[in-house]
Amino acid sequence: MSDLDFNYILNKMKNQEVDRPNKSTSGTLSGHAAGEPFEKLAYKELKEKYPGRIFKQYEYLNDIYLKNPTHITVKQRKELFDSPTALFLFSRGDNAIRYWSPQNIFDEKQNDTADILYYDHHFYDIIDIKTRNIKKGGQPPNIISAYKLANMCALMLDNEEFDNIEIDYIEIDWIEDGDKLKCTDTHHGRLFKANPETLYINWSAGMQIQFHVSELDQSWKDSRREWAIEYLRKFVNSAEDRCTKMRKTYIEPFLRYIQ
């Protein structure tokens, strides 16, 4: 289990200021890049608080490969994970694993599962930082691929692995303040505490689950096993709905032109 103190990091980040990542003359601050300095800061604070337990996902992979220099085949390197679920979530593809060497280590990859990984005695906590310009309306951000999550749930059920992984989100709200960005508020949400039924899957946005962390339901009381089953039910129903909607909107209205 995680002994991560989320209140510590929430409080630590509140009222922090970072430099604007772009020139204030070069237009609007938007998208993921705008909040990046806060992400870096949260990572630094976590690393200081939990030395040896906080990694970027690629750092974690580099770390376990470097510590196990006799594991050189793809199979051996995969076996460094004692959890099929963690292997699925964090490992790179076979080719990347094969060509890894101390001279050719991994670097950040855009579709890595975790921004930040907390690891302690076979327990993994995925920590994603979501930064939010609160002066902009803005749609809820992409959280995680609904399909990746479905595969994860299937693996958890197949392997009876329910206690070794946690997925946590931190929202950092910020405003522009001259040459600085200022954090005005922070929030924590735990994915497995959200009733799966409340999750929104945006099929046309890379099948991403989308929510603002501060608005995430946290009412789930049942077991992790039940969560996995309930999530898969949600995922399948949502896929069915999407197909029905596609037929009605994208197929039927146009048939008369092509028949």
Contact set with its own copies (CB under 8 A) = 21-23, 26-27, 31, 33, 36, 147, 150, 153-154, 157, 203-207, 228-229, 232-233, 235-236, 239-240, 242-243, 246-247, 249-251, 253-255, 257-258
Instruction: Give me the least distance between CB of 150 and its own copies, in Å please.
Output: 6
* Site of tokens 């898969």: 232
Instruction: Give me the least distance between CB of 165 and its own copies, in Å please.
Output: 17
The 3-state DSSP class for residue 216 equals coil
Q: In terms of DSSP bridges, do strands 165-177 and 123-133 run parallel, antiparallel, or are they unpaired?
A: parallel
Complex with its own copies: residue 79 or 197, whichever CB lies closer: 197
DSSP 164: S
DSSP 124: E
| Cα gap 57→50, rounded to integer Å | 16
Complex with its own copies: residue 57 or 238, whichever CB lies closer: 238
Complex with its own copies: residue 23 or 121, whichever CB lies closer: 23
Instruction: Give me the least distance between CB of 34 and its own copies, in Å please.
Output: 11
Complex with its own copies: residue 82 or 107, whichever CB lies closer: 107
Task: Please state the separation of Cα 254 from the chain's center in Å.
Answer: 38
Contact predicate 174/182, CB 8 Å = yes
Q: At what angle do helices 146-159 and 224-246 cross, to 10 degrees?
A: 140
Phi, psi for 106 (deg, rounded to 5): -75, 150
| Cα gap 57→183, rounded to integer Å | 25
**Best CA proximity match to 42, nearest among 80, 13, 22, 5:** 13
Complex with its own copies: residue 35 or 189, whichever CB lies closer: 35
Instruction: Give me the least distance between CB of 243 and its own copies, in Å please.
Output: 5
Complex with its own copies: residue 119 or 231, whichever CB lies closer: 231
Instruction: Give me the least distance between CB of 204 and its own copies, in Å please.
Output: 5
* Site of tokens 């070794």: 164
